[in-house]
Amino acid sequence: MKNAFGNAQEDAYLFVKLVQGKSKEDAYFNFKVDKESKFTSAIYLSKTMLLYSQYFLDLVIVDATYKRNRFNLPLINVIGVNNFGKNIMLAFGLLSNETLEGYIWFF
């Protein structure tokens, strides 16, 4: 995979730089690295997601994929339902470990 797609850590660095630039536009972004500066977790909420989260928290669904991305980390999707019964994205992120501590950090 490294030969075909390159170094995941380099991609993580570029991902963090890209999203940090976007988060300056009233969005929220946070990430974690371990002791070796290896990318471990991230969460992102756009300006629209933040707005949605103020109005549509009656029903919230949290779903995690199982390591099906470039970073080999579970992707956490936080989905809400608006007043019209449509799904809306409230947040998403990557989480290195699906433990209580990991989810506490995420939420």
| Closest by Cα among 53, 42, 49, 37 to 19 | 42
| Model pLDDT, residue 1 | 53
pLDDT digits (tens, 9 = 90+) for 68-98: 677 778 899 999 998 888 999 999 999 988 8
pLDDT digits (tens, 9 = 90+) for 2-52: 665 667 777 777 878 887 776 667 788 888 888 888 888 999 898 899 889
Domain count across the chain: 1
107 vs 91: CA distance, rounded Å: 10
38 vs 53: CA distance, rounded Å: 30
| Residue ranges making up the domain that contains 36 | 2-106
| Model pLDDT, residue 99 | 86
pTM of the predicted structure, to 2 decimals: 0.77
Count of H-run helices and E-run strands, the chain: 4, 5
